[in-house]
Amino acid sequence: MSTLEEYAAAAAPAPLTREDLLPEGEVKWCPGCGNYGILTAFQKVLPGLGLPREQFVFVSGIGCSSRFPYYINTFGFHTIHGRAPAVATGIKLANPELSVWVITGDGDALSIGGNHFIHALRRNMDLKIILFNNRIYGLTKGQYSPTSQFGVTTKTSPLGVPDYPFSPVRLALAAGATLVARTFDADQNHLQATLAAVAQHKGAAFVEVWQNCPVFNDGVFDDIIGKSFRQEKVVYLQEGEPLRFGQDKGQVLIANGRGMQAVPWEQATPDTVIRHDPDHADATVAFMLADMEEQGLPVPMGILRRVRKPSYDEIMADQGAPAGSVPDISALLGRLEGWTIAER
Amino acid sequence: MTTQGIQEIPHDRQQLERVTVRFAGDSGDGMQLVGGLFASEAAWMGNDLGTLPDFPAEVRAPSGTVAAVSGFQIQIGASTVHTPGEESDVLVAMNPAALRAGLKSLRLGGVVLFNTSSLSERSLQKAGLSPEDLDAMRRHHQVIDVEMSRLCQLAVADTGLTKAQAERCKNFFALGLLSWMLHRDISPTVRWIQSKFAKKPAFADANVKALEAGYRCGENAELAAALPLYHVPEAAMAPGRYANLTGNQAMVYGLMAAACRSKRPIFLGSYPITPATDILHEMIRLRQDGVTVFQAEDEIAAVCSAIGASYSGQIGVTSTSGPGFTLKQEALGLAVMTELPLVVLDIARAGPSTGMPTKTEQSDLLQALHGRHGEAPVFVLAASSPADCFAVAYEAVRLALTYMTPVVVLSDSYLANGSEPFRIPAAEELPAITVALHQDATAFLPYGRDPVTLARPWAVPGTRGLEHRIGGLEKEENTGKVSHDPANHEAMMRLRAAKIHKAAASLPPVQVMGDPQAPVLLVGWGSTLGAITEAREQLQQDGIAVAQVHLTHLNPLPPNLEKVLRSYERVIVPEVNSGQLAAILRERFLIPTIGFNRIQGLPLRARDIHAFVLRTMEESQHVHA
Ligand code: SF4
């Protein structure tokens, strides 16, 4: 090193760029798969977070979505079916400094991995769990998943799916996630804004990303997010704003005493209009938002709920268990109640 | 404390080499507590010892019934004690149910200290005993009637305790009486009571009074005539500091010692399961000492969190028993594929399925060796005594970190709950564990290897320039990229196997115990060491030459094992299963093995092994004749 500047330049790495995150090999999702858009959003969002590349860990289970870690040049762990939240928990607890993201799918998170999913959220584990929901098993070529809608025909439901689907956001809210959001693959801006907000959250964050699988479940969300429907069928959640949608935002969702109801914007009164407040401690409205699709109301996209409470690693630190320290065995054994046999 | 050594031995006492005592009472009677304190008294007098609790299977079975009896057995000796004893010589029975349960393992003519205050029509009925049964017991054993509850009440009358509280001191009364009978000094117990109840002086006072009353009552005229008095001289223990540890406790300290020596933190991911739960309890107690403990939602999450922690640079450990081990097997395959260190502690119990959860069995050996899909070789070790759990846990961490691979440690409920004196090593006595996290980003190859150990680099998240991907898909050698290449797969399969098998050369050779020239070799593994050793020593005393080896490493097997096995005419393999090691040795070395197998959820008994060896030798003589 010849000068101090050079030394400083070498010590402080160049800021992370999109190019740094590009995969070493080929991305092997099917052409047109919604996963590509999600990958792009990550490549755009991560550089803006101010963290060096080595601090990011992407952990996944099994399924099309779970190939994600191979396609982003950070630390990555492609684990086994359903278990990514459990592996991610160990990674996070062993090094709480890391930014740990779980990439999962509807089958991986909600079927085989349901238990780990709910418990990671319940513990407020500081993980960002991103569920690519395409409502089908893609990698095994087209069987129904726990989010496939009742009655649809798939390879394993020729007479229609006989079971009722999970609502991922409702499940996440009920399990205690401290951030719950929904977005979709076709809206790059919204996707990026959502991921950026999630990145800032401390605690268990959950994002459901509606993702199109053009091969086995093409257009499954089209009647809501399709270009010609979106305006009428989607409410973009904006902090402090009423829940307006429709042409010229002419419609609004109001509280009607039992739930929500859509009315023309002119009919809304200050008493009935709901201004979106994701940070509200009370989860009642968040549950109502999560329920809207089932009620046939427009589907909310954005952050449904975001509250701050101590995360598991913070609680551990509070309880005085320092992550990463090494025991002093002499002191430890010295404390054992015991006796001494003297030399004879 | 330093042991007091033995003072002069009173001439009116019979000197014994060994004695086995069983405490039996209702689950609420505090038998485990006084059993443990008796162990301290014996240790303080310089005896070697082994203990084993016998817990009721139900949490709160109806009191006064046989199902609610809690037992604690201890053998103390004037020389090396190999087991907690098989038949007991002395039984302390706090009620009729305890009497009935305890008599099953009392030797004919053994002594019973029986709390007759508990006798009533109702208590006999609850125990399923008739007065005639009692008479029969009295004919076969020396039953010594002591009104323990009443005498205890009298002794603590002036301490201000309620009648119910005073009744609860009777276990100390019993301990006092037993201590008098066996000539053990009660002062360690007095000290323990005083420190334990420092904040409740009335309780301290009452318990000490009960203890002393029990001790003195042995001298009272009526009793003195009936009560046999014994003395067990001190044993020649190696000098040093000792603690009485259960197998599960020793396991925890072994892990902690390895963390200290390798300078890597320990992470335990675990889910409660009998008989492994005490490992979780003990670890959480030590959390301020530098250990991360995570109580997971299930067995799978427990092992997966440990794998995650290992990936992050800690020593990932998970503890379980048979059913939980089965659930973890898929994740073990992941750890094999990703070549991460991992220690799985399987504290086995009687299976299959829920089986007999509080009973012991050695039936997980094949599961440990072959329980995974694909071919996924791991190191397998077994602990052979409670204190040995320390060394084996330590060795497991050493292997996991040195070779970057999962290690399975087998213990069982007999070792887990049993205790014996553990000589506390100095940190310097422990073998070095050298391990370094990879730092160098130049030409970094995630699946490059150490030429000697074949270990890949431990490259943890957060290290600049080492960003890479791992996972369950087959890896390309060196680069670690996903590969479906047929030749690469075969190379990697052979490499993963070689990693384990190459390590054999660096393992300690098995040592032959007993007479190396004998025609018969006893081969054991795990918790049968005590019983097999005792059987072998007995045979030698009877003038029958027998050799013995005991295996700690079950995969890979020690390098000299084949040579040793081939040096004997007969190879007998005693196991608490239907012949798993016997089958492995036959398969591996093509030598005939003779299994001695018991599958009753109980530890092997030395005398059964003894009898089996004699029978086998007779049969072979007939064949030769
Ligand atoms: S099967 Fe569907 S989800 Fe999977 S990669 Fe192809 S398009 Fe994407």
Half-sphere exposure of A332 (CA within 13 A, CB side): 26
Atom of ligand 1 nearest to the CA of A28: 5
**Contact residues, chain B, for A87 at CB < 8 Å:** 304-305, 307-308, 311
Q: What angle do CA B158, B162, B167 make, to 5 degrees?
A: 95
Residues B527 and B605 in one domain: yes
Residues B212 and B132 in one domain: yes
Looking at residue A22, what DSSP letter applies?
S
DSSP-based three-state secondary structure for B219: coil
| pLDDT, tens only, B120-146 | 999 999 999 999 999 999 999 999 999
Cβ burial of A229 (10 Å; 0-12, 13-18, 19+) is middle
* Contact predicate B375/B591, CB 8 Å: no
Give the Å distance between the CA of A103 and the centre of ligand 1.
Answer: 15
Total count of domains within chain B: 3
- Beta bridge pairs of residue A253: A262
C-alpha–C-alpha distance, residues B74 and A201, integer Å: 56
Chain A contact present for B495, CB below 8 A: no
Chain A contact present for B109, CB below 8 A: no
Q: Say how far residue A266 (Cα) sits from the centre of its chain.
A: 36
Residues 6 or more apart whose CB falls under 8 angstroms from that of B563 comprise: none
* Contact predicate A63/A107, CB 8 Å: yes
* Alpha-carbon gap: B167 to the closest alpha carbon of chain A (Å): 29
CB contact under 8 A, A95 and B460: yes
Atom of ligand 1 nearest to the CA of A138: 1
**Contact residues, chain A, for B460 at CB < 8 Å:** 95
C-alpha–C-alpha distance, residues B365 and B121, integer Å: 48
- Between positions 445 and 474 of B, the ones with CB within 8 A of A are 460-473
Residues B227 and B280 in one domain: no
Cis geometry, peptide bond prior to residue B275 (ω within 30 degrees of 0): yes
Neighbours of A14 (CB within 10 A): 8
Q: Please report the pLDDT score of residue A11 as a whole number.
A: 62
**Contact residues, chain A, for B78 at CB < 8 Å:** none
* Contact predicate A67/A97, CB 8 Å: no
C-alpha–C-alpha distance, residues B212 and B229, integer Å: 17
pTM summary value: 0.96
**Residue A306 — φ and ψ, nearest 5°?**
-155, 105
Residues B213 and B248 in one domain: no
Residue A64 Cβ < 6 Å to ligand 1: yes
Residue A27 Cβ < 6 Å to ligand 1: no
* Alpha-carbon gap: B355 to the closest alpha carbon of chain A (Å): 25
Give the Å distance between the CA of A216 and the centre of ligand 1.
Answer: 7
Q: Say how far residue A153 (Cα) sits from the centre of its chain.
A: 28
C-alpha–C-alpha distance, residues A268 and A255, integer Å: 10
Which amino acid is located at A58 in the chain? Answer: F
**Residue A142 — φ and ψ, nearest 5°?**
100, 35
Q: Please report the pLDDT score of residue B288 as a whole number.
A: 86
Q: By CA distance, what is B265's nearest residue in A?
A: A326
Give the Å distance between the CA of A138 and the centre of ligand 1.
Answer: 5
Which residue, by CA, sits nearest to atom 3 of ligand 1?
A: A213
* Contact predicate A334/B289, CB 8 Å: no
CB contact under 8 A, A75 and B265: no
C-alpha–C-alpha distance, residues B316 and B337, integer Å: 16
CB contact under 8 A, B424 and A338: yes
Residue from B263, B295, B259, B290 nearest B279 by CA: B295
Which amino acid is located at B360 in the chain? Answer: T
Torsion of CA B235, B237, B241, B247, to 10 degrees: -90
The beta strands (E) that lie in chain A are given as 56-60, 75-78, 99-105, 128-133, 179-184, 205-210, 234-236, 244-245, 251-255, 260-264, 299-306, 339-341
Which residue, by CA, sits nearest to atom 5 of ligand 1?
A: A29
Is the pLDDT at A24 greater than 90? The verdict is no
Q: Say how far residue B203 (Cα) sits from the centre of its chain.
A: 33
* Cross-chain CB nearest to A330 (options B308, B427, B482): B427
The verdict on residue B227 lying in a domain is: yes
**Over chain A, what is the mean pLDDT?**
94
Average pLDDT of A123-139?
97
**Contact residues, chain B, for A112 at CB < 8 Å:** none
C-alpha–C-alpha distance, residues B579 and B609, integer Å: 14
CB contact under 8 A, B470 and A52: no
Is the pLDDT at A10 greater than 70? The verdict is no
Tokens read off for B549? 């080896």
Q: Please report the pLDDT score of residue B427 as a whole number.
A: 87
Atom of ligand 1 nearest to the CA of A213: 2
- Give the ranges where B218-312 is alpha helix by DSSP (H): 221-226, 247-262, 277-285, 299-311
Cβ burial of A291 (10 Å; 0-12, 13-18, 19+) is middle
- Between positions 218 and 237 of B, the ones with CB within 8 A of A are 236-237
Residues B216 and B264 in one domain: no
| pLDDT, tens only, A34-45 | 999 999 999 999
**Residue B48 — φ and ψ, nearest 5°?**
-85, 160
Mutation target for B interface from A67, A98, A326, A335: give the one with most B CBs within 10 A.
A326
Residues B72 and B195 in one domain: yes
Q: By CA distance, what is A70's nearest residue in B?
A: B469
Neighbours of A83 (CB within 10 A): 29
Q: Please report the pLDDT score of residue B222 as a whole number.
A: 75
CB contact under 8 A, B3 and A323: no
Tokens read off for A249? 């935002």
Q: Please report the pLDDT score of residue A256 as a whole number.
A: 86
The H-or-E segment that residue B409 falls in is strand B406-412
CB contact under 8 A, A327 and B291: yes
* Cross-chain CB nearest to B243 (options A83, A338, A344): A338
C-alpha–C-alpha distance, residues B526 and B415, integer Å: 9
Cβ burial of B107 (10 Å; 0-12, 13-18, 19+) is middle
Domain boundary among B429, B462, B494: B429
The verdict on residue B575 lying in a domain is: yes
* Cross-chain CB nearest to B290 (options A59, A75, A326): A326
C-alpha–C-alpha distance, residues A129 and B366, integer Å: 38
Give the Å distance between the CA of A159 and the centre of ligand 1.
Answer: 23
Q: Please report the pLDDT score of residue B223 as a whole number.
A: 84
* Contact predicate B477/B488, CB 8 Å: yes
Is the pLDDT at A3 greater than 70? The verdict is no
Q: Please report the pLDDT score of residue A1 as a whole number.
A: 41
The verdict on residue B331 lying in a domain is: yes
Mutation target for B interface from A60, A72, A87: give the one with most B CBs within 10 A.
A87
Angle at which helix A114-122 crosses helix A84-94, to 10 degrees, equals 40
In this prediction, what percent of chain A has a pLDDT beyond 70? Answer: 95
* Cross-chain CB nearest to B467 (options A54, A94, A324): A54
Residue A35 Cβ < 6 Å to ligand 1: yes
* Contact predicate A125/A178, CB 8 Å: no
Residues B168 and B253 in one domain: no
- Beta bridge pairs of residue A213: A217
Q: Please report the pLDDT score of residue B587 as a whole number.
A: 97
CB contact under 8 A, A78 and B471: yes
Q: Between β-strands B570-575 and B406-412, what pairing exists: parallel, antiparallel or unpaired?
A: unpaired
Residue A214 Cβ < 6 Å to ligand 1: yes
Neighbours of B202 (CB within 10 A): 13
Residues 6 or more apart whose CB falls under 8 angstroms from that of B402 comprise: B433, B434, B435, B453, B455
Which amino acid is located at B406 in the chain? Answer: P
Q: Between β-strands B546-551 and B520-525, what pairing exists: parallel, antiparallel or unpaired?
A: parallel
CB contact under 8 A, B305 and A93: yes
Residue-range definition of the domain harbouring residue B304:
242-429
**B287: left (phi > 0), else alpha (psi -120 to 50), else beta?**
alpha
- Give the ranges where A96-149 is alpha helix by DSSP (H): 106-107, 114-122
C-alpha–C-alpha distance, residues B593 and A210, integer Å: 62
In this prediction, what percent of chain A has a pLDDT beyond 90? Answer: 88
| pLDDT, tens only, B578-624 | 999 999 999 999 999 999 999 999 999 999 999 999 999 998 776 65
Residues B176 and B248 in one domain: no
The beta strands (E) that lie in B55-173 are given as 69-77, 88-93, 106-115, 142-146
Residue A255 Cβ < 6 Å to ligand 1: no
Assigned superfamily of A14-220+310-334: Thiamin diphosphate (ThDP)-binding fold, Pyr/PP domains (3.40.50.970)
For CA atoms A5, A7, A8, A14, give the dihedral sign: positive
* Alpha-carbon gap: A186 to the closest alpha carbon of chain B (Å): 28
Residues B166 and B36 in one domain: yes
Residue A137 Cβ < 6 Å to ligand 1: no
Chain A contact present for B311, CB below 8 A: yes
Residues B266 and B182 in one domain: no
Q: Which of A65, A104, A216 to mutate to test the pocket of ligand 1 (most atoms within 8 A of CB)?
A: A216
Which amino acid is located at B341 in the chain? Answer: P
Q: Please report the pLDDT score of residue B391 as a whole number.
A: 98
Residue owning tokens 């000068």:
A3
* Cross-chain CB nearest to B257 (options A13, A92, A329): A329
Domain boundary among B178, B201, B231: B231
Low-confidence ranges of chain B (pLDDT < 50): 6
Structural domain boundaries in chain A: 14-220+310-334
Residue from A118, A1, A129, A154 nearest A59 by CA: A129
**Contact residues, chain A, for B257 at CB < 8 Å:** 329, 333
Residues B531 and B580 in one domain: yes
Q: Cα dist. B568→A231, B100, B526, B565, B572 in Å? A: 86, 45, 22, 6, 10
Give the Å distance between the CA of A36 and the centre of ligand 1.
Answer: 10
C-alpha–C-alpha distance, residues B48 and B42, integer Å: 8
* Cross-chain CB nearest to A333 (options B237, B294, B424): B424
CB contact under 8 A, B253 and A325: no
Q: By CA distance, what is B471's nearest residue in A?
A: A78
Give the Å distance between the CA of A39 and the centre of ligand 1.
Answer: 13
The arrangement of strands across the sheet holding B594-597 comes to B513-514, B546-551, B520-525, B570-575, B594-597
Residues 6 or more apart whose CB falls under 8 angstroms from that of A215 comprise: A30, A33, A138
